Structure 1
Amino acid sequence: MSGLTWLYLAIAISSEVAATSALKLAEGFTRPVPSMVVIAGYALAFYFLSLTLRDMPVGVAYAVWSGAGIALVSLIAWIIYNQTLGAGELAGIGLIMLGVVVLNVFSKTAH
């Protein structure tokens, strides 16, 4: 798998995280600027995810995308929206990230 594939996946993840983080600010798509960030972010995310899938199996790509997205959105929500993360939430996020690592280390299709 090329470095370009991983770059596409990183862009997909970043775009999805930006879009998801802007959802709260969009207030049900009643605020134009945050709403446009949401729409553009998701469009970019799916476009770059589709490019990723040319060389990476969908299961692996989606596991990395969703795992990284969950961790990053939770971090942003903690910083920007003062969302509290208890032991249960942190443990769950940690297990998701561990699953992504295990998938990438032991999967023959991830390399």
Structure 2
Amino acid sequence: MINSWIYLIAAIVFEVAGTTSMKLSEGFTKMIPSVLIFVCYGICFSCFTLALKKIEVSLAYAVWSGLGTTLIASIGVLWFRESMSTMKFLSIALIIVGVIGVNSSK
């Protein structure tokens, strides 16, 4: 079971790296970030598939999408200097609360 959680964490890390590469590729005009999109997402979905061997899909997807969204939003604000409004902050907090809720409802 622990290995499945490690696979899920790896899937999240590679999904975040793939999405960050999308931004860095500037619409597929930069070669290395463009290639990294496909490499990172390939690894991401492979790890996610392995995580689903032992983790329920509803829980795994909630954690994967919720943490991925939270991390990408944070990277957008911190690295790409995107705006952070109160509404955006509260919405991200609700995503985290939702993931906790799904996890605790086992």
Shorter chain as normaliser: what TM range?
Answer: over 0.9
What 5-or-longer segments of structure 2 have no aligned partner? none
Q: Where does residue 49 of structure 1 map in the other structure?
A: 48
Q: Where does residue 100 of structure 1 map in the other structure?
A: 99
**Per-residue Cα deviation, 1:39-88 (whole angstroms, up to 9, x for no partner):** 11111110000001111121111110000001100111111100111111
Q: Where does residue 39 of structure 2 map in the other structure?
A: 40
C-alpha distance in 2 between matches for 1:56 and 1:71: 21
Secondary structure of the residue that 2:54 maps to in structure 1? coil
Amino-acid identity (%) = 36
**Per-residue Cα deviation, 1:23-44 (whole angstroms, up to 9, x for no partner):** 1111121211011111111111
C-alpha distance in 2 between matches for 1:41 and 1:85: 27
Aligned residues: 106
CA RMSD after TM alignment: 0.8
Q: Where does residue 87 of structure 2 map in the other structure?
A: 88
Q: Give 1:15 deviation, angstroms.
A: 0.1
Secondary structure of the residue that 1:99 maps to in structure 2? helix
| 1:15 correspondence with 2:14 | yes
C-alpha distance in 2 between matches for 1:49 and 1:85: 30
Report 1:70-81 matches (<5 A): 70-81=69-80
With the length of structure 1 as denominator, give the TM-score of the two structures: 0.92
Which stretches of structure 1, 4 residues or more, deviate above 3 A after TM superposition? none
With the length of structure 2 as denominator, give the TM-score of the two structures: 0.96
